[in-house]
Amino acid sequence: MIIHHVPFRPLGTATPTTASVEGETLILNEQRIDLSQIPEGMTLPMSAIGHELFAGPVSRRNGEIELTLRLAVNAGAPDYMWLGGRLQVSAGPVPFPVEPVRASPHAAKPQEGKQDV
């Protein structure tokens, strides 16, 4: 499965997109989308999928499913998160780029002179 991804800035905080491939089924944020019924040479319009993270049609060419997904990105994300990309995944998790995890400013800090036991 060829998966193109394009960044978008949602209102509020971006929820990370998770996806994996099982045969011709795409599991997108835990929702299973069976793409096996798309015949060779056919292009299915985005509206026929009915999922908010699809950013274009889904097609089958040379036996391979090809699609484009929207990847939510936070405003302060590193530059590499704002680049689109192309991934080819035959099975398993889709390796989307991820934002680094930042330590919370409210994280507990050890008190000076005291040790954890």
According to the per-residue pLDDT averaged within each range, which of 13-17, 56-60, 110-114 is highest?
A: 56-60
- Domain annotation covers residue 86: yes
- Domain annotation covers residue 78: yes
Task: Say what the pLDDT of residue 89 is.
Answer: 96
Task: Say what the pLDDT of residue 86 is.
Answer: 96
- Domain annotation covers residue 83: yes
For a pLDDT cut of 90, what percent of the chain falls above it? 68
- What does pLDDT average to over the chain? 87
Task: Say what the pLDDT of residue 100 is.
Answer: 75
SS (H, E, C) the chain: CEEEEEEECCCCCCCCCCEEEECCEEEECCEEEECCCCCCCCEECHHHHCCCCECCCEEEECCEEEEEEEEECCCCCCHHHHCCEEEECCCEECCCCCCCCCCCCCCCCCCCCCCCC
How many domains is the chain built from? Answer: 1
What long-range pairs does 27-31 form, CB within 8 A, spacing at least 24?
Answer: 28/53, 28/69, 29/53
- Which of 83, 66, 54 shows the shortest CA–CA distance to 1? 66
* Dihedral of alpha carbons 53, 57, 60, 61, sign: negative
- Domain annotation covers residue 26: yes
Q: How confident is the model at residue 103 (pLDDT cuts 50, 70, 90)?
A: low
Query: Is there a contact between 15 and 78 (Cβ–Cβ < 8 Å)?
Result: no
Q: Find the domain containing 6 and state its range.
A: 2-93
Task: Say what the pLDDT of residue 85 is.
Answer: 94
